[in-house]
Amino acid sequence: MKTKNNKAWFLILPVLALVAISAVIPLITVVNYSFQDSFGNNEFFWVGTEWFQELTQSERFHNALQRTLLFSALVLLIEIPLGIAIALAMPRKGFGVTVCLVLMALPLLVPWNVVGTIWQVFSRVDIGLLGYGLASAGIDYNYTQDVADAWITLVVMDVWHWTSLVVLLCYSGLVAIPEAYYQAARIDGASRWSVFRYIQLPKMKRVLLIAVLLRFMDSFMIYTEPFVVTGGGPGNATTFLSIDLVQMAVGQFDLGPAAAMSLVYFLIILLVCWVFYTVMINYDQAGQESTGGRGHG
């Protein structure tokens, strides 16, 4: 309900132009490719929905999709509870707050390919601290050859990289809880678990929803880090959708199927986002109904 000032629209024109060139036009091109086949040499001819039909039956696509979903699930299952636990343990007042916040922010500041490189070298059996250490302890660890080891390495790397985001989001939710709630809980004789379950968790619902959404999206789209560490290997054990897509488009130069796959990929993410958004809006409305008292007077 803002008052109207139409001149503001003109300020958006440069940005619109930029977005058009960098995003909209390439997107349309991709859509275009997805309905065509090419034989190198820029010769294209229409094949309709053939690529999409092939995709629904392609074992390669389904495997890559399953791997990506498994990765996202694992990552969420570990990062969300761990993030909540760390946020609960962080001090809410005093000197320790700044120290903790800075420590938590550090992993988020590292560029993603550097994250990949760090863990790649770290885990190498010959020169990596972790790899060498595990080998001398007698543990059989080799992420370039063993599927399980590769997966473990990638999951641990992602947890190291991104748990801080969950921590910071949950922390902001926790800090907003007024002291009186904790006091009332003490007086009611509530156990630590009850305080968490009946006060802290409900109050954190909204930020948790955001955290889950962000982490799902990012982990579903993950590319740089696993590419740097395992390159998709061993074999195709860690070939996620994004890596598969790039292999097809750039490696094999199969633009048609690659375009179709990237569109389907994009639509899946869009669908998930829409679901989350709807849930959040409904939750917001339910929340607004219940705020009686001096809100909108």
Partner 1 sequence: MATIELQNIAHQYDPQGDSAYALNNISEVWQDCGAYALLGPSGCGKTTLLNIISGLLRPSEGRVLFDSVDVTSLSPEQRNIAQVFQFPVVYDTLTVAENLAFPLKNRGLPKSQVDRRVSEVLAMLELTHRAHNRASRLSADDKQKISLGRGLVRTDVRAVLFDEPLTVIDPHLKWHLRTELKKIHREFQHTMIYVTHDQTEALTFADKVIVMYEGSVVQIGTPPELFEKPRHTFVGRFIGTPGMNVFEVNLQGHSAWIGNQEIKLDRSYELIDGPVELGIRPEYVALSPSEGVAARIVAVEDVGRHLVVRTQVEDQTVNVIVKEGSAIPESPHLVFSPDKLNVYQNSCLAEPKVL
Partner 2 sequence: MLELRNVSLQVQGETYIDDVCLTLERGKLNLLLGPTLSGKTSLMRLMAGLDTPSSGEILFDGESVVGKPVQQRNVAMVYQQFINYPTLSVFENIASPLRVARLSRSEIADKVARAAELLQLKDLLDRSPGELSGGQQQRVALARALVKQADLVLLDEPLANLDYKLREELRSQLPELFAEQGVVLVYATTEPMEALALGGMTACLHQGRITQYGPTLELYNQPAMLQTAKSFSDPPLNVIDLQVRQGQFRNGGTGNGFQALSRRYENVPDGDYHLAIRPYHLSLSPNSDACLEFSGKATVTELTGSESFIHFEFDGNFWVALVHGIVETSAGQDVTFYVDTGNPFLFDHEQRLVPMPGSGS
Helices (H) and strands (E) in the chain, counts: 14, 2
94 binding partner 1? (CB under 8 A):
no
The interface partner of residue 1, options being partner 1, partner 2, none and the CB cut-off 5 to 8 Å by kind, is partner 2
In the complex, minimum distance from the CB of residue 172 to partner 1, in angstroms, rounded to a whole number: 19
CA distances from 166 to 158, 202, 273 (A): 12, 16, 18
- Measured in whole angstroms, how far is the alpha carbon of residue 113 from the centre of its chain? 16
Show the tokens assigned to 284: 């917001």
52 binding partner 1? (CB under 8 A):
no
* 29, 32, 98, 194: residue in contact with partner 1 (rule CB under 8 A): 194
In the complex, minimum distance from the CB of residue 4 to partner 2, in angstroms, rounded to a whole number: 6
SS3 36: strand
Q: Which of 24, 4, 28 is nearest to 16 (CA)?
A: 24
Say if CB 174 and CB 203 are below 8 A apart. yes
The interface partner of residue 186, options being partner 1, partner 2, none and the CB cut-off 5 to 8 Å by kind, is partner 1
Instruction: Give contact residues for partner 2 (rule: CB under 8 A).
Output: 1, 3-5, 292-297
Q: What is the distance between the alpha carbons of residues 158 and 107, in angstroms, rounded to a whole number? A: 10
The interface partner of residue 187, options being partner 2, partner 1, none and the CB cut-off 5 to 8 Å by kind, is partner 1
250 binding partner 1? (CB under 8 A):
no
184 binding partner 1? (CB under 8 A):
yes
Give residue 65's region: left, alpha or beta (phi > 0; psi -120 to 50): alpha
Q: What is the distance between the alpha carbons of residues 146 and 160, in angstroms, rounded to a whole number? A: 21
Q: Which of residues 55-74 bind partner 1 (CB under 8 A)?
A: none
253's enclosing H/E stretch is none
Q: Which of 223, 209, 214 is nearest to 68 (CA)?
A: 223
Residues β-bridged to residue 37: 45
289 binding partner 1? (CB under 8 A):
yes
Show the DSSP H helices in 91-196 as ranges.
Answer: 95-109, 112-123, 129-136, 147-175, 179-187, 192-195
209 binding partner 1? (CB under 8 A):
no
The interface partner of residue 42, options being partner 1, partner 2, none and the CB cut-off 5 to 8 Å by kind, is none
In the complex, minimum distance from the CB of residue 177 to partner 2, in angstroms, rounded to a whole number: 19
293 binding partner 1? (CB under 8 A):
yes
The interface partner of residue 5, options being partner 2, partner 1, none and the CB cut-off 5 to 8 Å by kind, is partner 2
92 binding partner 1? (CB under 8 A):
no
Show the tokens assigned to 75: 């990552």
Of 198 and 266, which CB lies nearer to partner 1 in the complex structure? 198
In the complex, minimum distance from the CB of residue 203 to partner 1, in angstroms, rounded to a whole number: 8
22 binding partner 1? (CB under 8 A):
no
Of 48 and 297, which CB lies nearer to partner 2 in the complex structure? 297
Residues that bind partner 1 (CB under 8 A): 178, 180-181, 183-184, 186-191, 194, 198-199, 202-203, 289-290, 292-294
